[in-house]
Chain A
């Protein structure tokens, strides 16, 4: 029996490993096609200026900064809040907070951005705040779900052997919630890559500025480059998050 179980474990991690290399290949193919497409065009002066490598790289870097800052902030808020809301005594507040998080995600992101811009002004950090509001739900919800789905018998066993509530949280609940929490963080990351394109409307830069100048200048190649780079970034981030998920998932589960 145990040999079969060991085999099942190995074969499962093998399939995961083989899938690991598909995504980067897709990204490379996408970038290659983009390169070929742009190279085949005769660019006019506006397009040349909009697609100058320093312009594109700056936009990409701004985009990455937006995504990283907002995701880190989302985790810093969502995970402790999620843990707090699963503690006995205040779990009723969880319903309210989840409803609020649900609502903030149901609101179209462009609306959130614009309202925040009207209230707090424009710029990088305002965009980060909007992204955090938008991406909080998956992190918060998955933290709560991840902790709640831990088998109560394990917690009983832990309490019964003399673990304090804090030790139960650190030794049992959080490690076992990690896979579900990581899935939520991954969703938040991907969401942030997409929503961050809207930050261009509030003067926070990013790949969205390439897209919007492509639209406003009526230059399809510029639009295509902005969109394709966003897609490539989203896929790359997803791939990296998948690697992190595999590395951080506790062994044995």
Chain B
């Protein structure tokens, strides 16, 4: 027992050799998967259907009981803990949203606090606070019923409900899958901003690699046979795919997609230069993505960008240097 691995102190979720095998099936749905997810990290599980990503997600809150292996949440082995207690401490968002149609929006959000015995007035206050947090006016929406809301609005409520008891961990199973494409992108971006504020440990399942690249701090790409093909940052996955499966799965255009993940600050270190006199440069913040910088340059017909570095004056990069720097992953990642 003592030789078995235990999670590091900064790990929020730790899966130790977790397997799921359904009776009567040849191959395991998930086999001997080990994964460590740090506190405050946003991890996206992605892969073709049947690769075990959803099974993995649902084993974390034990909606699916693993056949073998151990699950740790916040350093505690919860493999055999009380499931209802465990789940009340984990936010859960599903594609179908699953708001209870006979309860008002406020009552839906307050479901977990109610189970935890929070007082009614406090629950109400919390629901209003959360509605505001997900961008819905409490005065307008708190007392409505779910079917009076659009799909996008309903999923905002779904997120609010998962956050109601302020759980450290959130599990999301294709949360934006049922939302129409235009609302989806908006919702994704808002969710990224929300996550920057609340810093939950999030595990999300999607089959959409673009969504994974856009949202995840790290991405776990599952291959056929529930193999964990690569578990790394979006930039590393685009720059150094582990194998052909990952390369194929990510698809074409990796170098261009990298541009939106690279920050201007990542590339200026490569090629410092001063602003030549008479050069037509556009000012860009060092925190912007290279993609955005290029957009600004091309849009304004400038020849390069001028980046102000705090305490170090400003740097100039012409278009060519910017592209060359962006095309060299090694420099960026060293």
Contact = CB atoms under 8 A, between A and B. Distances in A.
Contact of B103 (A159, A160, A167, A252): A252
B219 to A, nearest CB: 23
| Residue among A9, A167, A253 facing the most chain B CB atoms (10 A cut-off) | A253
Given A171-B100, A250-B102, A252-B102, A161 B149 contact: no
Contacts of A106: none
A181 B309 CA distance: 69
B248 interface: no
Contact of A160 (B87, B99, B101, B150): B87
Q: Mostly helix, strand, loop or mixed at chain A's interface? A: helix
Contacts of A253: 101-102, 147
Contact of A5 (B112, B115, B147): B147
A156 B100 CA distance: 11
Contacts of B148: 2, 5-6, 9
Given A5-B148, A164-B84, A156 B98 contact: yes
B60 to A, nearest CB: 11
A237 to B, nearest CB: 27
A160 B61 contact: yes
Interface stretch (B13-21, B88-96, B201-209, B271-279): B88-96
A157 B104 contact: no
Given A151-B98, A154-B100, A161-B115, 10 more contacts: A156-B63, A157-B98, A158-B100, A162-B83, A162-B85, A162-B88, A167-B115, A171-B111, A176-B101, A253-B101
A2 B88 contact: no
A163 B146 contact: no
Contacts of A156: 63, 94, 96, 98
B94 A157 contact: yes
A153 B173 CA distance: 12
Given A1-B150, A153-B96, A164-B84, A175 B111 contact: no
Nearest to A175: B102
B78 to A, nearest CB: 13
Contacts of B150: 1-2
B145 interface: yes
Interface of A: 1-2, 5-6, 9, 151, 153-154, 156-164, 167, 171-172, 175-176, 250-253
B149 A2 contact: yes
Contact of B94 (A160, A162, A164, A171): A160
B305 to A, nearest CB: 43
B144 interface: yes
A176 B87 CA distance: 23
B200 interface: no
6 contacts: A5-B148, A153-B96, A154-B100, A159-B63, A161-B87, A163-B115
A151 B96 contact: yes
Interface in B101-126: 101-104, 111-112, 115
A167 B96 CA distance: 20
B282 interface: no
B146 A252 contact: yes
B161 interface: yes
A59 B180 CA distance: 63
Complex A-B, nearest 10 residue pairs according to Cβ-Cβ distance, in ascending order: A157-B98, A252-B145, A153-B96, A162-B88, A162-B87, A160-B92, A250-B102, A5-B148, A162-B84, A252-B102
Contacts of B101: 176, 252-253
A153 B97 CA distance: 8
A252 B92 contact: no
Contact of B98 (A1, A154, A167, A175): A154
B296 interface: no
Contacts of A161: 87-88, 92, 111-112, 115, 161-162
B86 interface: yes
